[in-house]
Structure 1
Amino acid sequence: MDFDNEQVNQIVSNVLRKVNRGPSDTNESPDETIPGGQKSGRAAVLKAPRQLEIVEFPLRQIGPDEILVKVEACGVCGTDIHCYKSDPFGLAPVVLGHEGTGEVIEVGRNVQMDSVGKPVRVGDKIVTSILETSDSCMIAKYNPLKSNLCDDLRVYGLLPDEPQNHFNGYFGEYLIIRPESSVFVVNEMSVDLRCLIEPAAVVCHALERAKNSGATLNFRTRVVVQGCGPIGLLMIAVLRTYGINNIIAIDGNEGRLAMAQSLGADELINYRDYAGIDEMAAKVESLTKGLGAHFGFQVTGVPIAFSNLFKCIRRGGGICEVGHFVDGGECAINPHKDICRKEITVTGSWVYNSFEYPNAYHFLQRAERIGLPVASLITHKFPLDRIQEAFEVNLRQEGVKVVVEIT
């Protein structure tokens, strides 16, 4: 095993402390076991809907299979906003944040490599999100490629608070990465790009779901992306990176439509400019040789938008529903006109699998290389002390991606 100078010095220091320890000194104190002598750290706790409070917590020693991370930044996700508004999962009190990244400051003695075989060392920049599912999950047992559908899927930032560990989400100064977690070393990426890896995994998974549904997605395919929030914009970017040359973006915000164009959309439709869905669908048909789009990605999280999208898809086409990560209600469709007569394929996309993270960060790197300004999705940055303001800005849909920086 190779050790760098910092690791050697730490080992020597620990040995000398043990040698010089008196006979009654049997327990290591926090400043002797945590790098830098840190005994505590701050985290933003969601105590109740719309109530975030910065709390100082003790920082415990990590176990042999854990990793201690000094958090650098974390994006505010739509799921975080749903938790902030109404705590729909009943998690409060909870430290949110799953679109984050940070620097490794301590590695448990049993941890050697990340999830793709890269060595994990102090100073590495990492991302993590999903903890592996339990052995009792029947879905994962019989179809490991569908482990994202396990009822016990656990994600950092959506974990219940624990008496012995409050650092379970990225909206804190530290994160303790547990055993059996997915971990990826991404030293070559900027902190902004690292904050986009988790949402990028969502759109990469959606693209794979669309391909697996039998959809024809190639250079000549005409695709509609409905909704230009952060996920919709990344959906456009991943489609352009994949090689789709005919992308129609639909949204009601001109600023977001302009960003959609910079990320690869060829045609822009502001639904507010049309009297109703029939008129807007006619516009889509005019851009697709009178037939409608081959495929559509629904990324709004608005039920009526899902039912409207069927009107924009040609016979034999398909739809991937990406936007409904919480129950937004029901909508009406016409099974004959919308599905059967058109023989449309409808597929859902739910989160992602841990093994899709490498695909996500390679997509972001490739997108930058071909000139797509994916990092421009980050329009607002706030320090941890102003996290409530960050959430309110996101709630008002000002800008696109809001990031909380942990300093």
Structure 2
Amino acid sequence: MGRAAVLTGPKTLEIQRFPLRGIRPDEILVKVEACGICGTDIHCYNSDPFGLAPVVLGHEGTGEVMQVGSEVKMDSVGKPVQVGDKIVTSILENSQECMIAKYNPLKSNLCDDLKVYGLLPDEPDNHFNGYFGEYLIIRPGSSFFVVNDMSLELRCLIEPAAVVCHAYQRAKDVGMRLNFRARVVVQGCGPIGLLMIAVLRTAGVNNIIAIDGNPDRLKLAAELGADETLNYKDYSGIDDLAAKVESLTKGVGAHAGFQVTGVPQAFANLFKCIRRGGGICEVGHFVDGGECSINPHQDICRKEITVTGSWVYNSFEYPNAYHFLQRAERIGLPVASLVTHKFPLDRIQDAFDVNLRQEGVKVVVEA
């Protein structure tokens, strides 16, 4: 038997006990150690927008291997896997019927049938499909990685780190200037925004401007590599804030901006902070937050702004995220300090309440 926190409906979490079935030859049984609460978990908690309830949420997790199926020999990068290893996993590989994955594997993250642990429907014989439980059964077709040399905190950050590594690469792929002398705005200093700042600093960007309304998060942004921190509440409006950004970027605006708030109006506002010939990467809208208005002439056409979106990540970007976190620590960025709260599984409601009040940064539930 094992326990799991089941979302039975909007704003309703219940600790339930389930029988733990035996694993099959192509599966792995993991004893969950911890999992971070993601913004997607919060959206699911608030309104169950994907209609998954009853469901065990949690995809920013890690745990220890308890059993390895006889057919499983290595992780997704060729490391041997055995009982006692610390591992992370999130994505299941896409079905062979997906035309996007078939003809462009580098875009498999855009498949309509993308499957993520913690966002999988409950099954009659397996209720351990998310990390907010005591166990997780890794099924065939999953990408998973042995990460024995990482702390618990860093292991819980690999999944969100993959999100920002993917966004960084998306911006580079469309030609945004992200070199040593680039001036870059990161709008929003939640967990993803703060990791975005750390990625940029680790990659060598030396002029980063962080924008948020929370002084504590702006302080952490500076510790993670932001050269300037702007509290938008100190300005009369977007024109006033954009003028400040211009004053910090030789009077012409930033080369690039990453929008990481999930607030539609923030996306519209960011155009005012970008120079002619610059670019914007939209990272924050993982759920439909509504619409906003922009001026196609003023905001895009006359400035030749490049706009790109970033959606989740591909499984092969987990190793990239792993190496980013290690590199960030080596150069002195306190990425592990993003984990500010830890709660046992029995207190998962308290963990969600802290997250909803936006206290701290990354809230972790420990099994």
Report what 1:315 is aligned to.
276
Asked whether 1:150 is paired with 2:111, we answer yes
Q: Deviation per CA, 1:234-253, whole angstroms, max 9, x where unpaired? A: 00000000000000000000
Count of aligned residue pairs for this structure pair: 367
Aligned AA (2:333): L
Report what 1:31 is aligned to.
none
Which of 184, 191, 196 aligns to 1:230? It is 191
Q: Deviation per CA, 1:149-168, whole angstroms, max 9, x where unpaired? A: 00000000000000000000
Quote the Cα distance in structure 1 between the aligned partners of 2:129 and 2:141.
14
Matched ranges for 1:13-52 at <5 A: 40-52=1-13
Report what 2:258 is aligned to.
297
Which of 106, 128, 137 aligns to 1:176? It is 137
The offset of 1:216, in angstroms, is 1.5
Report what 1:164 is aligned to.
125
Q: Deviation per CA, 1:149-193, whole angstroms, max 9, x where unpaired? A: 000000000000000000000000000000010010000001111
Which of 150, 154, 158 aligns to 1:193? It is 154
Report what 2:15 is aligned to.
54
Identity of aligned residues (%): 84
Which of 339, 344, 354 aligns to 1:378? It is 339
Report what 1:353 is aligned to.
314
Which of 77, 83, 92 aligns to 1:116? It is 77
Secondary structure of 1:195 counterpart: helix
Which of 131, 153, 156 aligns to 2:92? It is 131
The offset of 1:392, in angstroms, is 1.0
Report what 2:295 is aligned to.
334
Unaligned runs of 5+ in 1: 1-39
Report what 1:75 is aligned to.
36
The offset of 1:262, in angstroms, is 0.2
Quote the Cα distance in structure 2 between the aligned partners of 1:367 and 1:61.
39
Which of 232, 235, 249 aligns to 1:288? It is 249
Quote the Cα distance in structure 2 between the aligned partners of 1:391 and 1:86.
14
Which of 36, 52, 67 aligns to 1:91? It is 52
Secondary structure of 2:220 counterpart: helix
Report what 2:330 is aligned to.
369
Quote the Cα distance in structure 2 between the aligned partners of 1:152 and 1:376.
34
Which of 194, 204, 222 aligns to 1:243? It is 204
Quote the Cα distance in structure 1 between the aligned partners of 2:359 and 2:10.
20
Quote the Cα distance in structure 2 between the aligned partners of 1:182 and 1:141.
17
Aligned AA (2:12): Q
Quote the Cα distance in structure 2 between the aligned partners of 1:317 and 1:87.
37
Quote the Cα distance in structure 2 between the aligned partners of 1:62 and 1:365.
33
Aligned AA (2:40): T
Quote the Cα distance in structure 2 between the aligned partners of 1:396 and 1:332.
29
Unaligned runs of 5+ in 2: none
Report what 2:180 is aligned to.
219
Report what 1:255 is aligned to.
216
The two structures have a TM-score, normalised by structure 2, of 1.00
Quote the Cα distance in structure 1 between the aligned partners of 2:49 and 2:209.
33
The offset of 1:318, in angstroms, is 0.1
Quote the Cα distance in structure 2 between the aligned partners of 1:278 and 1:243.
29
Secondary structure of 2:289 counterpart: coil
Quote the Cα distance in structure 2 between the aligned partners of 1:163 and 1:213.
45
Quote the Cα distance in structure 2 between the aligned partners of 1:217 and 1:196.
23
Report what 2:357 is aligned to.
396
Secondary structure of 1:324 counterpart: coil
Which of 263, 270, 273 aligns to 2:231? It is 270
Aligned AA (1:125): K
Report what 1:208 is aligned to.
169
Quote the Cα distance in structure 2 between the aligned partners of 1:386 and 1:275.
41
Secondary structure of 1:354 counterpart: coil
Q: Deviation per CA, 1:266-302, whole angstroms, max 9, x where unpaired? A: 0010000000000000000000000000000000000
Secondary structure of 2:78 counterpart: coil
The offset of 1:369, in angstroms, is 0.4
Quote the Cα distance in structure 2 between the aligned partners of 1:226 and 1:215.
16
Aligned AA (2:318): Y
The offset of 1:49, in angstroms, is 0.7
Quote the Cα distance in structure 2 between the aligned partners of 1:215 and 1:380.
35
The two structures have a TM-score, normalised by structure 1, of 0.90
The offset of 1:116, in angstroms, is 0.1
The offset of 1:147, in angstroms, is 0.1
Quote the Cα distance in structure 2 between the aligned partners of 1:280 and 1:232.
18
Secondary structure of 2:316 counterpart: helix
Aligned AA (2:208): I
Secondary structure of 1:205 counterpart: helix
